[in-house]
Structure 1
Amino acid sequence: MNVAEAVGRALAACGVRMVFGVVGSGNFHVTNALVAHGARFVAARHEGGAATMADAYTRTSGEVSAVSVHQGPGLTNAITGLTEAAKSGTPLVVLAGEATDARSNFHLDQDALARSVGLLPLRVSDPATAAEQAVLAVRTAREQRRTVLLSLPLDVQAAATEPDWTAIDRLGADLRTLDEPHQPREPGDDVLAAVCAALTAAERPVFIAGRGARHARPELERLAALTGALTATSAVAKGLFRGSPWDLDVSGGFATPLTAELIRAADLVVSWGCGLNMWTTRHGSLIGPAAKVVQVDLDPAVFGRHTRTDLGVTGDVRQIAAALTAALGGEAPGGEARCGYRSDELAGRVRAEGRWRDVPYKDESAAGRIDPRTLTVGLDDLLPAERVIAVDSGNFMGYPAMFLDVPDEQGFCFTQAFQSIGLGLATAIGAALARPDRLPVAALGDGGALMGIAELETVVRLGLPMVIVVYDDEAYGAEVYHFGPHGHPLDTVRFPPADFAAIARGHGLAAVTVTRPADLAGVSAWLAGPRDRPLLVHAKITGERGSWWLEEAFKGH
């Protein structure tokens, strides 16, 4: 067996079931070895799409997946997607061929490139330890929540190797059966006592949960009931508390007026696996000056990084929440305490005002364009409840992110840590493959849709019953609303009309153009039919003003 074959077999032994990529000569053999040992390979049309598909698949499924790319340009093409994954702490293994001969056109310093965007570089240098190095890549990705680049020099790939497969299979089995990554030592009793004291003293506590808390809903809800806390999430954890009468939905720039009011008035904010960055706190303005801030996270480096932290607790969210509940005397009688921030009156306000679609607005649909709020509310009413939503970046993004409901924390995939446009369609593909039981919905701006358009063929080829909504204002809207009010020329960020419906049909999709609410009948017809082709909805939206979340974002500049 050669090294390429051994690496593929070892990765499969560690439970890598999904591989996304574009195959060239430098990653041909390792990719085939993965497939031969049970992994599924999904061919993307661009390496950047492959990286984002793997990122979204891992976020939604919880499994470590792999990206397989050619040396040189295969890796550089993937970099934007991999940077997003690295910034989000997504555990991925990136397999990249490597041309070590400086005379090769494909040669580059892959380690330096990896480090520059937050990837952890590893390399298979010795044929004798190739399989062990592959296991190390998976373990490191999983335990440290890192995106790991495993470089595979071309000459080493072809070398013969004789791994100890009994040992490799045993190590792989251990990784596959771990329920959670390695956890740090639990905090001391004095730290837990300090948090208990803060929870007991608080009259208006609010919990804000992030991606690091997505596995801990039961424990967080028990502690919130015991202490009377309201619950909210960062954008990436949207849906975590869906169905709870105390769910404030998303904190930050996407927050409803009621959510912003209640978080701003909190006297205790407990962050659970959440960085409390500028988006989640509206540049810190949602944290009241007298509020005490507690952060619970596996990584103590996040404490105080974006906003002040009065008390940092290093540990797993689920374990810490359970320990605090036990220390406070267990669950509330009947499972629900009426204390802290909770009251019948407030529960009524949350029911009436807690979602953006409950906030009154003036419909601005006119002149052959539909208000994006009206569009999205209409789609929310039509689309089945069991859905997974992926949203690209841009001025439009708040509308699908906040007006489309999701059933739970696995219903929303948000690749926005790097704020790149063009990742939304690939995100939807990865999430769709992780949750084939749900209708995948990709929400894109016109700019991002054209950037990622190559993956329309991937959607059709994979037979995904996807709904792709293009919010088309014929511009890079964020720049229009950022620079336009100051009198700057906008010719560089405005574009002539593009017929997205025709483009979609050319790729083999069904398509409908929406300029008014009645046009959504085309979506109803597709939903009622066989859904044998994906559907693109070309929505020509109004563009007279920026979105509310963008106005909030600009306040910080």
Structure 2
Amino acid sequence: MTTTVARYLASRLASLGIEHVFGVPGNHLGPFLTAVGHTPGIEWIGTPTEVGAGYAADAYARVRPGPRIGAAAVTYSVGAFTLLNPIGGSYVEYVPVVAINATPTYEQWLNYRAIGLLTSHMSQRRESNLDVYRQVTVDAQVVTNAALAPVQIDAALVACLSERRPVYLEVMEDVWDAPCASPVGDLTARTRPVTARNEQVLGRAVDAAVALIEELGRPILWAGEEVDRFDLAGPFGELVEATGIPFCTTIGGKAVLSEDHPYFVGVYNGKSSTPWVYTVFQKWARVRIGIGSWSTSKNLGGERSIGPDWIVAAHDGVSVGASYFPDVRLPAFVEALRDRLVTRFGERHFEADYYARAHEAGLPVPSAYRSTRAVAAGTGLTYDLLFDRVNDLLAASPRTYTVVSDAGFSLLGSMSLHVSEKDGYLAQNSWLSIGYSVGAATGVALVRQDRRPLVFVGDGSFQEVVQELSTHVRHGLRPVIFVLDNEGFYGIEQMLVAPCYYTKPPSSEPDYYNILHPWRYDALAQVFGTATAPMTGVEVASEEDLADLLRRLGDRADSVNYGPVLVHVRLRRDDYPVSISYKVEECAQPEGGR
């Protein structure tokens, strides 16, 4: 039996459970979109920008059940080069996304080669699009022969599932409607076989890890991004329960288990951690065990290294102090470490040992670790006050929201939110493309239709992707987007380059290039909302304004809950989250500043 290349790709995506394909149409893409429209179970979500489509597909893949995979489709060069940034983020953060790029026809490429005739979106380098995508994908295919399309498409999709990273499919316009063989069989991830050598190295890694724990005692776990990316929340939870070892998470690993868990200490982010989390993790614990944790600047907050008392297990190997054990599979290590610790010490040994000694040392009980920082009333609206009050909303409305945080002060502030729902937090914490959260809200809302995206984004980040509000309104999505406007200022950039500006009184002027053009953000609801698809804009400039909004969000009958909500949060330019205060403190030291 035969089909067409366009129908083949569309049906393969649908068979993987992909119900939404995001993107911006173009003439070269038309035949594929026609096929998508005739494929049961899959829907085209047109977005105003390719960047927004990429962010949506990335978030869609992160939160959907079953095979984690998303898809974005664009047209040649002008669309593909814009999509490159989101796909770069998916590559760095291990998110499986299929990037589909429709190209000029084979005839047009022959015309260019023979007489130099360029048509729309073409460059003088035939492989320009392919070359750049090879840098950020695990497989990149150019489909020029319909007879080979099934083999190429299947190979790319299997690579995407197996490596859990993006792939790239470039298809010529006149190939879409050409006949090819129909799909045969199911596509599944192919796991690399475990060899005898892998088993030997695994055993040595576990031996070394247990020996270090025996030598130093008082371990603490640090759950990271790969616990989520490689679906290891279950095995990690079993490790915690069986051993009784307390755990922290990275920002990107936040809420891989419910933060109501009695062994949860908090988010460890180096100097950006709360004082108690930092004390427990760095001062009280003697062995730090990273499980799927990435050593990035946003996970180590001002720290530059890990050290000889660390164990760090990631998907490609395990470090124990200065020793490295390559090609140890993370799932196997988590399971083997759990079994060896229970065999060696007994069930939940570290629960009694850890907390008995902690009590003797005067450290608080676990519940105190989770308490939010006290914020005095009457001090005006601040980052810390905002997130403290949002914690009340999350506590009062369980199973209602998925927190989506952008980069910068939004990320650092949202770290303090208490997320009781497993997988209730989403952030791009390594690539850190500003504006990610607004596009990501689209993907989150379409997958988790019973949850509402609760988005925190800085004003500079928001200005990058404001058009994506149109997608929310058009498709009846209901995110609540807090735009954190610190008087039109790239606050995080100022903090990273010249933190002395934030001293009291400031010892430097704000850098001119960090100043933004001010917008009336709440008024944008009138631009994007319609009579049949309402959108609400709210300005919050005081504690009273914030309290009123949170009350309305908690009242399901209030009209604010009928559609998307854009909240213009007014903050002082010199304000910043307490989690980054170490930068200001360092600036005040004699060797600090500039």
- Give the shorter-chain TM-score range: 0.7 to 0.9
1:468 shift after superposition: 0.9
- Aligned pairs for 1:69-148 (under 5 A) are 69-99=74-104, 101=109, 102=112, 103-108=118-123, 109-117=128-136, 120-148=139-167
Alignment gaps of 5+ in structure 1: none
Q: Which residue is 1:525 aligned to? A: 552
Does residue 500 (structure 1) correspond to residue 521 (structure 2)? The answer is: yes
In the alignment, the residues of structure 1 paired with residue 193 and residue 438 of structure 2 have an alpha-carbon distance, to the nearest angstrom, of 34
Displacement of 1:197 in angstroms is 2.7
Query: SS of 1:187's equivalent?
Result: helix
Query: Partners of 2:156 and 2:537 in 1: how far apart?
Result: 42
Shift of the alpha carbon at 1:205?
Answer: 0.9
1:352 corresponds to: 368
Conserved in 2, the CA contact under 8 Å of 1:440 and 1:465? yes
Tell me if the contact between 1:11 and 1:134 (Cα under 8 Å) persists in the aligned partners: no
CA distance in 2, matches of 1:294, 1:161: 54
- In structure 1, the partner of 2:36 is 34
Q: Structure 2 vs 1, CA of residues 285 and 229 (structure 1 numbering), >3 Å: closer, same or farther?
A: farther
Counterpart for residue 244 of structure 1 = 261
* The structure with more radius of gyration: 2
Work out whether residues 8 and 33 of structure 1, in 8 Å CA contact, stay in contact via their aligned partners in 2.
Answer: yes
Using the size of structure 1 for normalisation, the TM-score is 0.87
Q: Trace 1:16-415 onto structure 2 (pairs within 5 A).
A: 16-37=18-39, 38-62=41-65, 63-99=68-104, 101=109, 102=112, 103-108=118-123, 109-117=128-136, 120-158=139-177, 160-163=178-181, 165=182, 168-172=183-187, 175=188, 184-185=194-195, 186-188=198-200, 189-214=203-228, 215-241=231-257, 242-253=259-270, 254-265=272-283, 266-284=285-303, 287=306, 289-291=307-309, 293-300=310-317, 309-312=322-325, 314-329=327-342, 337-343=350-356, 345=359, 348-355=364-371, 357=372, 359-362=373-376, 365-366=379-380, 370-383=381-394, 384-386=397-399, 387-399=401-413, 401-415=414-428
Offset of residue 547 of structure 1: 3.0
Q: CA deviation at 1:349?
A: 3.7
Aligned twin of 1:470: 483
- In the TM superposition, what whole-angstrom CA distance separates every residue of 1:452-477 from its partner, at most 9, and x where no partner exists? 11011111111112211111112111
- Give the drift of 1:536: 1.5
Conserved? CA contact 2:384–2:578, under 8 Å? no
How far, CA to CA, are the matches of 2:35 and 2:216 in structure 1? 57
Tell me the distance in 1 between the aligned counterparts of 2:470 and 2:215: 57
Structure 2: any 5+ residue segments left out of the alignment? Answer: 113-117, 502-506, 530-534
- Paired with 2:577 and 2:427, the residues of 1 have a C-alpha distance of 18
Cα distance in 2, alignment partners of residues 92 and 6 from structure 1: 18
- Cα distance in structure 1, aligned partners of 2:582 and 2:442: 30
- Would the alpha carbon gap of residues 33 and 489 (structure 1) be closer, same or farther in structure 2, given more than 3 Å must change? same
Q: 1:515 aligns with which of 541, 544, 550?
A: 541
Whether the 8 Å contact between 1:504 and 1:511 is mirrored in structure 2 is: yes
Q: How does 1:514-553 map to 2 (within 5 A)?
A: 514-520=540-546, 521-530=548-557, 531-552=561-582
1:528 aligned partner, one-letter code: D
111-120 vs 470-479, greater mean Cα deviation = 111-120
Deviations 1:368-414 (A, max 9, x none): xx112212222221242222011111234322x22332234421111
Deviations for 1:348-380, whole angstroms, at most 9, x for unmatched residues?
44311334x2x23556744xxx11221222222
Q: Work out whether residues 136 and 166 of structure 2, in 8 Å CA contact, stay in contact via their aligned partners in 1.
A: no
1:183 Cα deviation (Å)? 6.5
- Provide the rounded CA distance (Å) in 1 between the counterparts of 2:512 and 2:252: 34
Indicate the SS of the match to 1:296. strand
Letter in 1 for 2:180: E
Instruction: Please state whether the residue corresponding to 2:474 is helix, strand or coil.
Output: helix
Give SS of 2:26's match: coil
Query: Is the CA contact (8 Å cut-off) linking 1:463 and 1:532 kept in structure 2?
Result: no
The residue type equivalent to 1:257 in the other structure is P
Residue deviations 1:324-359 (CA, integer Å, cap 9, x gap): 22234459877565355333728844311334x2x2
Q: How does 1:420-499 map to 2 (within 5 A)?
A: 420-473=433-486, 474-481=488-495, 482-483=497-498, 485=501, 487=508, 490-495=511-516, 497-499=518-520
Of 8, 11, 20, which aligns to 1:9? 11
Aligned equivalents of 1:549, 1:379: Cα separation in 2:
17
Distance 2:186 2:137 in 1: 27
Paired AA for residue 81 in structure 2: T
Specify whether residues 350 and 141 from structure 1 end up closer, same or farther in structure 2 by C-alpha distance, changes over 3 A only: same
2:522, 2:537 within 8 Å by CA — same for their partners in 1? Answer: yes
Once residues 192 and 467 of structure 2 are traced to their aligned partners in structure 1, the CA distance between those partners, rounded to angstroms, is 38
Is the contact between residue 260 and residue 286 of structure 1 (CA under 8 Å) also seen in structure 2? no
Q: Aligned partners of 1:524 and 1:361: how far apart in 2?
A: 19
Q: Which amino acid in structure 2 is aligned with residue 123 of structure 1?
A: V
Counterpart contact for 2:139–2:167, Cα < 8 Å: yes
Matched residue SS, 2:27 = coil
State the alpha-carbon separation in 2 of the partners of residues 136 and 46 from structure 1: 28
Change (3 A) 1:552 1:75: farther
Q: Bigger CA drift: 270-279 or 10-19?
A: 10-19
Give the C-alpha shift of residue 126 in structure 1.
2.3
CA gap of 1:234–1:314, structure 2 versus 1, over 3 A, is farther
- Whether contact under 8 Å (2:454, 2:481) holds in the other structure is yes
Q: TM-score, normalised by structure 2?
A: 0.82
CA contact (8 A) 1:392 1:415 kept: yes
User: Aligned in 2, Cα 1:295/1:234: closer, same or farther, shift over 3 Å?
Assistant: same
Contact 2:69 / 2:97 at 8 angstroms: preserved in 1?
yes
Confirm or deny: 8 A CA contact 1:187 1:313 kept in the other structure. Answer: no
Structure 2 counterpart SS, 1:169: coil
Q: How far does residue 133 in structure 1 lie from its aligned partner after superposition? A: 1.5
1:83–1:119: 8 Å Cα contact kept in structure 2?
no
Q: Compared with structure 1, are the counterparts of its residues 410 and 224 closer, same or farther at alpha carbon in structure 2 (3 Å cutoff)?
A: closer
Structure 2 CA distance for partners of 1:549 and 1:149, relative to 1, 3 Å: farther
Deviation at 1:40, TM superposition (A): 2.4
Shift in Å at residue 128 of structure 1?
0.9
Structure 1 residue 67, shift from structure 2 partner: 0.7
Query: How far apart, in 2, do the equivalents of 1:389 and 1:70 lie?
Result: 32
How many residue pairs get aligned? The number is 536
Structure 2: distance between partners of 1:184 and 1:18: 35
The whole-number CA distance in structure 2 between the counterparts of 1:467 and 1:271 is 33
**Contact 2:406 2:458 (C-alpha < 8 Å) held by counterparts:** yes
- Distance, in Å, in 1 between the alignment partners of 2:37 and 2:199 is 43
Following superposition, the deviation at residue 497 of structure 1 comes to 3.7
